[in-house]
Amino acid sequence: MFEDKPREDQRWLMELLEVKGAEHPKSENLESWNKTLLAIGIPQDILINTKDYRTKAIDQTLVNPAHVALYEHEGIRVHYRMHRKS
């Protein structure tokens, strides 16, 4: 489906499934990890430490495309899937 690109050149999108403890951003244009978490209300300075969550979710999605991941921060729970765009 996709050409074999090095991991750092791949484009992955975040699909929000459920948000608890914060307002779900209703926009369908939220694609990137950072934009989505910022729209939910995760502070910018916290995003620096979230790359491992994204990487782990992508790794698990490569094994199981239906994988649903969870991110939590101070009472905010986000269930999401990762989808490869390129």
43 is a domain residue: yes
The whole domain housing 55 covers 9-84
Query: Could you give the strand order of the β-sheet that contains 76-84, starting from the edge strand earlier in sequence?
Result: 12-20, 76-84, 69-73
Give pLDDT, residue 1: 61
Give pLDDT, residue 73: 94
Angle (CA) 15 19 25, round 5°: 70
38 is a domain residue: yes
52 is a domain residue: yes
pLDDT above 70 (res 65): yes
Number of domains in the chain: 1
Q: How far apart are CA 69 and CA 27, in angstroms?
A: 20
pLDDT above 90 (res 32): no
**CA 16 distance to own-chain centroid:** 8
pLDDT above 90 (res 27): no
30 is a domain residue: yes
Within 13 Å and on the Cβ side, how many CA atoms surround 50? 20
Helix (H) or strand (E) holding 32: none
